[in-house]
Structure 1
Amino acid sequence: MQEKVTQRRSNKARSQDTTRKLLDAARSLFVKKGYAETGTPEIVKAAEVTRGALYHHYTDKADLFRAVVTHEAEAIANEINATALEATDPIDGLISGARGYFTAMQVPGRARLMLVDGPAVLGADGMSEIDRKAGGESLKEGLSAAAAMANKTDLPLDELSVVLSAGFDRAALEITQGGDANRFISSLEVLLRGLMR
């Protein structure tokens, strides 16, 4: 019995190792060359696994790309939540969360994956689904808490979340191209504090 348990753990560990290698290799190539220019033979070669291993874990290149983007979305959500939790009130939480988002998006290649290739490959619905699963509701929840504190119960939170999210993404692209993150944070703070006044 002990041998079967050890064998199962060993298989699970090997499977996790293969998945990690595929995700790391695919991410590196997608960032360097873009989704369209990256082929699965390159990915398996870089990951040092077989094609069979790739197709055992992922249906196709798009499925592997979705896994890479999902992993990135989870890392972004973790950064946002970690910084937002340090705040003492909801508006400060929104501002801190935005700072966390901009910090997370400065990881090399992440803006391309999430804001350029992601929507092109997976579509708006696919990206929205990944965002929801990774905690994309946190912006709306933060806005709701800030609106309640400011007694602004008539704000259209769904639409406001969409507008702000689009603004965050555009600002993140500007920052990755050399824009000053602190100036974007300051601008966002003016906007949010004015909105919740």
Structure 2
Amino acid sequence: MRRNKKDTAETILKLQEIARQHFTIHGYADCSLEEIAKTAEVTRGAVYHHFGSKKGLFKAVLELVQREVAQRLEEEAALSEDQWEQLYLGCRAFVTVAIEPENRRIMLIDGPAVLGWEEWRLMDEQQSMRLLHGQLELMQQQGYLKNVRLDAATHLLSGALNEAALWLAQIANTADASEAMEDCLQTLRRLLDGIR
């Protein structure tokens, strides 16, 4: 029984990793479950069994990507002991990690298009936004923030970060990308200083 659970978990992870590669390279619309199953050396029926549909598989991949992004945000924020620097580093990490090629298409382009904004936002709230809210709450409790409403500050800052990432993703392969990133990070510092 344990071996079956272990095999199942390994198959699910393998399918997610292979699907992630396919979704990254080809995009959701141009991926076929047949190709993903073939690469994973399973039947298409196995994909349906574990994920229900192509959309179900994509959602599982997006959840995986979002968990990895959230983990990297925490790791980046932990590089400093200073609360303000932790907030900045976490926000900076979100923008830079979200636009990495292996994340950009799944998280920023296909994610909202395939799942719809409402479901995509809910998933975002459960990962990156949850971390942002937690950091802001901790900082407010320790007297680092002006008297701002945490939900409002979290949504405004998260919205700004998502929009920045979407914008940077659109221009990622242009001559303006590096300068735009620098401008974005400088502006982020100024925005954060506004609630200090």
Alignment of 1:52-63 (within 5 A): 52-63=45-56
What is the CA RMSD across the aligned residues, in angstroms?
2.1
Q: Is the 8 A contact 2:77 2:86 kept in 1?
A: yes
Q: Is the 8 A contact 1:119 1:127 kept in 2?
A: yes
1:146 and 1:193 map into 2 onto residues whose CA distance is 13
User: Hey, what does 2:161 align to over in structure 1?
Assistant: 168
- Structure 2 residue ranges without an equivalent (≥5): none
Q: Which amino acid aligns with 1:168?
A: L
Larger Rg: 1
- TM-score, normalized by length of structure 1? 0.84
2:194 and 2:119 map into 1 onto residues whose CA distance is 33
**Which of structure 1's runs of 4+ aligned residues deviate more than 4 A?**
none
Matched-pair identity in %: 34
2:61 pairs, out of 45, 68, 92, with: 68
Q: Which amino acid aligns with 1:188?
A: L
Q: Is the 8 A contact 1:73 1:131 kept in 2?
A: yes
- Structure 1 residue ranges without an equivalent (≥5): 1-7
CA offsets 1:68-87 (integer angstroms, 9 cap, x no match): 00000000110111121233
Shift of 1:12: 2.3
Q: Which amino acid aligns with 2:192?
A: L
- TM-score, normalized by length of structure 2? 0.84
2:159 and 2:135 map into 1 onto residues whose CA distance is 16
1:82 and 1:13 map into 2 onto residues whose CA distance is 29
Q: Is the 8 A contact 1:95 1:185 kept in 2?
A: no
Q: Is the 8 A contact 1:25 1:46 kept in 2?
A: yes
Q: Report SS of the residue matched to 2:178.
A: coil
User: Hey, what does 1:125 align to over in structure 2?
Assistant: 118
